[in-house]
Structure 1
Amino acid sequence: MQMKVPDVNRCCFCIPLRPGIILFAYLNIIFSVLSVTCLVITTELQKTSITHDPSVEVMISTVLFSILGMGVILNFLLLIAGYQKDVSMLRLYNYYALVTTLAALVPTCFLFSRKMFTEVFVALFVIAMQCYVIVLVRSEVVKLEENKLKNTEVSHSRFHNCIDISDRVTLV
């Protein structure tokens, strides 16, 4: 069974692809910093108000948002790769983003089983946004590779045209 990942040409149906990726990198950095800050504050308040023993929910929330908090570093990588049009950095971003997204699903399911719906909603929103950015970055990688392939074909055709020697010409 094969699954085809869609290629998109525009971000949010209106912004060109590369500026849209850069915009999402900035937005993801802001959201990641805010969510980690809120998590640290709420986790510390829950620890002190309930008991001095950390509860399972607090630890799972901490793990979840730590995974999502690593997105700050990840999105700085995306930002640099977007500005430089670096295919290898964009691929690295995609691999790392895919792994962290899959890793974030485990604690999200656990929080859902504990009926912590607010945390689950926030986590699913961040995961969905991350999946959309993965599709955008993959489309940009495909686009950059196609442009690179076209440029190499054009340079090879120019090279062959310059060296082409007629059969009538003799060197004697």
Structure 2
Amino acid sequence: MSSLPALARQQRGVALFVSLMLLIVTTLLGVAGIRSVSLEEKMAANSFDRNLAFQAAEAALREAEKYAEDNKPTPSYTDSTANSCPTNPNVINNCTNGICPKADSDCTPRWESASGFTGWTNASASLGTLAGNAPQYFIEYLGSEFQCTDGGASDPKNCKRYRITARSNPGTGRATVMLQSIYATN
């Protein structure tokens, strides 16, 4: 029985060391789990924000298409810079009632203009305060020299075409989505 105290003297502090190691491993696993959950939460929030922005931009796009269908607008002016890319803000922003003249495909798009495009129209369609500011759109008149058919009719006729650009405008630091469609009316 005298060997028991000798054995206890040899193992002094081992239980403390093992328990501290297990505590460190458990803490590291907990921290890694929290970081993983935090990252997944951020990804889910960004995905939700992008979906709201997409829905807002799509609502503005549909509103602009309805406006084009109901009004079939034609700009009452011509673009005097048809053969060159405009740099003057007055030319870039020469939109009337949300209708802009046809842009040259070789030029910088209006919304990327260094002088700033201000021809956006606020859409009345909104997803509430979750989506941020009202989505916006503008319509570019592409002309009426396009051929189209009327629901299967054999005689082609001229129809008007519009390029509609819509964007969500949620605010700084939030997902922004821009959509375009080509819309034809007769």
TM-score by length of 1: 0.30
Q: Which of structures 1 and 2 has the bigger CA Rg?
A: 2
Question: Which structure shows the higher helix fraction?
Answer: 1
